[in-house]
Amino acid sequence: MRLLERNSTGEFILTKDFVDEDEVPPYAILSHTWVEGKEVTFEDLINDAGKNKLGYEKIRFCGERARQDGLEYFWVDTCCIDKSNSVELQEALNSMFRWYQKAAKCYVYLSDVSTAKRKVCDQPSEFPWETTFRASRWFSRGWTLQELLAPRSVEFFSQECKWLGNKRTLERQIFEITGIPNEALRGTRLSQFGVDERMSWTKHRQTTRREDKAYSLLGIFDVFMPLIYGEGEDNAFIRLREAIDKPLEGEHATPIQHLHSN
């Protein structure tokens, strides 16, 4: 696991790759939705490039918020993983839930929620930005489910980097948007919720690559498996179900229902 830190000139650089997770220092982590071609990549940072990309502002935001929270290090998925290395990518995707879980802070940057303007709506809202918050793309993506559930501290920010609230202060809205029980949002172990119920939390979420609809659930079910891009969504879910059912063998578990939608 690599982290980002600010160097003496104020630029962001990558740390060494921490092989032993016990050696990883406290860090903040970013949750966001990607904009194709506008995110800063691992190669950009290695080549001291990417500062003109839109995604660099998100890195700057995360680094500044981490500093304000007394954290020297932070992690951003777009640039802390060498995606050209298939072994590293597979390890990262299998470890992602744990990385979010161990973060001291998780900052959710909502690029489609603004505090500067209010969308016209007939429904009364507690906050001027609540209508767009409820419609944010972040709540419809596959990978962001674990980014909501895994960390202890999840804070939401607008496109202007204004604080909107956290997982507790926005609990009612998040429950109404996602249907995820408050107990799960508050940190109850996910194993306390049935397999079918956890599957239902993902029903309307989408991923860019179809296999990721299954792969993004590995941490939700605390399982690990090889990632085979090109196997297709159905095959990925079959293998996921097998991985989930395997620990339950001998316990007379009933087969789980395949709830994802094509």
Asked if 39 contacts 26 with a C-beta cutoff of 8 angstroms, the reply is: no
211 and 117 in a common domain: no
pLDDT (0 to 100) of residue 19: 87
- Predicted confidence (pLDDT) per residue in 83-135, tens digit: 999 999 999 999 999 999 999 999 999 999 999 865 555 555 678 999 999 99
pLDDT mean over 213-226: 96
141 and 39 in a common domain: yes
199 and 143 in a common domain: no
199, pLDDT greater than 50: yes
Q: What is the pTM of this model?
A: 0.90
CA distances from 22 to 1, 35, 36, 237 (A): 11, 33, 34, 32
130 and 14 in a common domain: yes
78 and 122 in a common domain: yes
Estimate to the nearest angstrom the gap between the alpha carbon of 217 and the chain centroid. Answer: 11
* Token pair of 260 as six digits: 């994802």
259 and 155 in a common domain: no
Range of the domain at 156: 4-188
Q: Which of 169, 188, 207 is the last residue of a domain?
A: 188
- Predicted confidence (pLDDT) per residue in 35-88, tens digit: 988 999 999 999 999 999 999 999 999 999 999 999 999 999 999 999 999 999
176 and 214 in a common domain: no
255 and 140 in a common domain: no
pLDDT (0 to 100) of residue 36: 86
Q: How many domains does the chain have?
A: 2
3-class SS string, 172-207: HHHHHHHCCCHHHHCCCCHHHCCHHHHHHCCCCCEC
Produce one character per residue of 113-134: b if its CB has 16 or more CB atoms within 10 Å, e if not: bbbeeeeeeeeeeeeebbbbbb
Phi-psi region of 61 (alpha: psi -120 to 50; beta: other; left: phi over 0): alpha
Q: Which of 159, 188, 217 is the last residue of a domain?
A: 188
pLDDT (0 to 100) of residue 246: 85
The residue to which tokens 């802390």 are assigned: 80
Q: Which of 141, 156, 188 is the last residue of a domain?
A: 188
Residue 21: band (very low, low, confident or very high) from pLDDT cuts 50, 70, 90: confident
Mean pLDDT of the chain: 91
- Predicted confidence (pLDDT) per residue in 144-156, tens digit: 999 999 999 999 9
Asked if 142 contacts 199 with a C-beta cutoff of 8 angstroms, the reply is: no
258, pLDDT greater than 70: no
Question: Hey, what's the torsion of the CAs at 90, 93, 95, 98, to 10 degrees?
Answer: 180
196 and 171 in a common domain: no
Residue 214: band (very low, low, confident or very high) from pLDDT cuts 50, 70, 90: very high
Estimate to the nearest angstrom the gap between the alpha carbon of 54 and the chain centroid. Answer: 19
